[in-house]
Structure formats: C-alpha cells, structure tokens
Amino acid sequence: MSLSRRDLMASGGAVLAMTFPLGALAATPAAKHPLIIGHRGCSGERPEHTLAAYSRAIEQDADFIEPDLVLTKDGVFVCRHENEIGGTTNVASHPEFADRKATKTIDGQSITGWFTEDFTLAEIKTLRARERLSQLRSANTAFDGQFEVPTFDEVLALAKTAKVGVYPELKHPTYFAKISLPMEARFAEKVKAAGLNSKSAQIFVQCFETTSLIMLRGMINCRQVFLMDAEGSPADLVAAGDKRTYADLASREGLKSVAKFADGIGPYKAMIQPTDRDGNWTQPTSLVADAHAAGLALHPYTFRAENAFLPPALRLGDPKASDHMAQHGNMAAEVQHFITLGIDGLFSDFPGLAVAATR
C-alpha cells in the first residue's frame, strides 16, 4: 500500500535539515522526563494495535500505551488506527467478506475498503493483523497473520495487569454518530468500569474533534487531550459549519478555549518546530509557551526511528543503499531537541528508544 502524506513527508530531498550542530542537541541535558507514549503500542517492532505491540511497549518501559478506538457493527470498541481495515488486516483474503468492500466518505475523504462498522465483533475476530508500513518495516511482516484485532476491554485488562497507563483515542466520532454508533457514552462506561474515572488515574482520552471531548467532560473526570494537525479543521466543526481551523485553535486565544475541555494538546510536531522551504529547522513557534500559559500540557506526535521520518542531518547509514530510508537514524537527537523546547510527553513508534533518549 502507499504511504500517507505524513508517513512520507520526511523521506526525500532536504526535508527538515538541521541548521545547528547535532552535538549541541545531544549534549543538552533534559530538564525533566517527559511521558513516553507507545504509539499504537511498539508499532516500530510489531504490527500496530495488537496485544503483541502493546506488550512490547510495556516491556520497553513506556508510561502509556495508545489504543485507537473504532466501533464494530454491534457496538464494541476494537483497536484500529482507522475504521477502514484493508490496510491493517487480512480481510481482503477472506472470500466470505468480499461483498463487504465499499466506498465511503469519512470526514470528507472518499475511502474504498472494508470498514469495522460493517462487521460484528465475532467476524472481526476471524481476521488477523498485518504490517501497515511494510515498505519500511519489512521485519514486521514476519508477524503478519499471527495476531487478532484486540478489543478495548482486552487492552484495559493488559494495562491493568502490567500497571501501565492507557491513552485511548476516539476515531471519527462525528462519523460514527451519523451512522447511529455514538462513541461517548459507551466510552464513558468503559472508563468507569475500569476504575479510571479521575484526574489521577493512569489514563488520557484524546481526540482530533472538539465535540466529543466537550461531551465527555460532562460524563467522566479523566484527563483529556485535544489532538491538532498542522493543517485542516476538526471534522466536527466542519460538519457544524464552524470555520475554525486547527491553526485557529492553536493560537493563544484558541488555546484558552481548548483549556475549557482539555488538559493538554497533542500537536503534530512541526507545529512546535517548523521548517523553511529548504527543510531546515527555523525558529520554534511559541506553541509550547502559549499552551503552558493556558494550563495545557503538550504531547506531540510522532517520533519514529527510520531515516524516512528523520531530518537529513539525523539520518545514518549509506544514502546510496536501497534500504536507506528503512534504516534507523538518530531519533534520540530529535527527541532530545524537543525536550529542550519544553514538551511534557511524546508519542513514539519506538518507545524503548524514546525512553533511552529521555532518561
């Protein structure tokens, strides 16, 4: 499958080239230890959103594991990055599900594939996960077909046993509400049943939409994080005719409004450290200071080890090698740079490397 814009945006040319020595970054001591969130588990080493990926993140001392949540036809939360599962499971090889393939509009984007809301949990459990970024993570394809799609309940049980935090994300809640599968009340019930309904509990709930977080604020009392992209607008605001964009909400005034329903923000990392036209890091934005002034923590995403996702100055290995972009570069230097900018936590596909860079 083809990689997404964000998956590939650092893979060519002089994207994100450094303008100052690497040694200065690596030598700067961290003022604190940010939270390390295992992004979709340890998705750099196991197929994402599997119990194996979450377990691997736990083994690597991640503070939190991150399950993305979508709903089945019978209203059960399962862990997938998207409700379209053709790219992350072997559903296409199941002839009995061939007629479930469909084209749908999700948050304004036309997508063709197989969707969780068209399957019962029992049917989902007949599928097996596969590596999404097989072009860059060929080693992970060795695990294709081995792992089930886990439910949120299963991840909560794993986290409780391992005494690790959970950082669930509600995916496309406006879309699911329109097809009569609202997420918020179902999710609140899970939080309460798991004994996580407090600000001190080891949980953050995150979402790219404002409405769900506002609704959940009236249902549960756990910490909430508003996710932000570097472009576009929240799907719920678009659906309501609200013209505000993520950039508007990341402004000083916008952050004050966000603080009414969230305890933190999860911005795309370029919103903190932008680049110029040549890909060089420029002056950091004021987002860290502005968010902190509004009483919000910052947990940017996503830190990945492959050269394809790193600034050219942090890439290691032979640039002429056919697998150069899949090889690992100096992710630690990137993590340490963001720590000097004052972040409070970060999402990483390689939580073990992130932990080593921050401790």
User: Could you give the CA distance from residue 54 to residue 65 in angstroms, rounded to a whole number?
Assistant: 6
Show the tokens assigned to 89: 């499971």
pLDDT at 12: 36
CB atoms within 10 A of CB 159: 22
Q: String of b and e for 277-311 (b: at least 16 CB within 10 Å)?
A: eebbbeebbebbebbeebebbbbbbbbbbbbbbbb
For residue 165, which amino acid is it?
G
Cis peptide before 105 (omega within 30 of 0): no
User: Could you give the CA distance from residue 152 to residue 77 in angstroms, rounded to a whole number?
Assistant: 6
* Strand ranges (E), the chain: 35-39, 64-66, 68-71, 77-79, 102-106, 109-113, 165-166, 169-170, 204-207, 223-228, 264-267, 297-298, 345-348
For the chain, percent helix, then strand, then coil, each to nearest 5? 35, 15, 45
CB atoms within 10 A of CB 122: 10
Contact between 351 and 303 under an 8 Å Cβ cutoff? The reply is no
Contact between 75 and 181 under an 8 Å Cβ cutoff? The reply is yes
Tens digit of each residue's pLDDT, the chain (359 residues): 334 434 443 333 333 333 333 333 333 333 468 999 999 999 999 999 999 999 999 999 999 999 999 999 999 999 999 999 999 999 999 999 999 999 999 999 999 999 999 999 999 999 999 999 999 999 999 999 999 999 999 999 999 999 999 999 999 999 999 999 999 999 999 999 999 999 999 999 999 999 999 999 999 999 999 999 999 999 999 999 999 999 999 999 999 999 999 999 999 999 999 877 766 778 999 999 999 999 999 999 999 999 999 988 899 999 999 999 999 999 999 999 999 999 999 999 999 999 999 98
For 264, the 3-state DSSP assignment is strand
How far CA 214 is from CA of 14, 107, 183, 184, 245, in Å, comes to 40, 19, 13, 10, 17
CATH superfamily of 5-83+148-358: Phosphatidylinositol (PI) phosphodiesterase (3.20.20.190)
Tokens 């795309």, residue?
A: 268
Contact between 305 and 325 under an 8 Å Cβ cutoff? The reply is no
How far CA 11 is from CA of 1, 211, 260, in Å, comes to 16, 34, 38
Identify the burial level of 242 via C-beta atoms within 10 angstroms of its C-beta, where 0-12 means exposed, 13-18 middle and 19 or more buried: middle
What size, in residues, is the chain? 359
Asked whether the whole model's pTM tops 0.85, one would answer yes
For 153, the 3-state DSSP assignment is helix
User: Could you give the CA distance from residue 317 to residue 245 in angstroms, rounded to a whole number?
Assistant: 39
User: Could you give the CA distance from residue 282 to residue 266 in angstroms, rounded to a whole number?
Assistant: 21
DSSP per position, 57-95: HHHTT-SEEE-EEEE-TTS-EEE-SSSB-TTTBSGGG-G
Beta bridge partners of 36: 346
pLDDT at 277: 75
For 3, the 3-state DSSP assignment is coil
**Closest Cα partner for 66 from 352, 359, 349?**
349
pLDDT at 279: 61
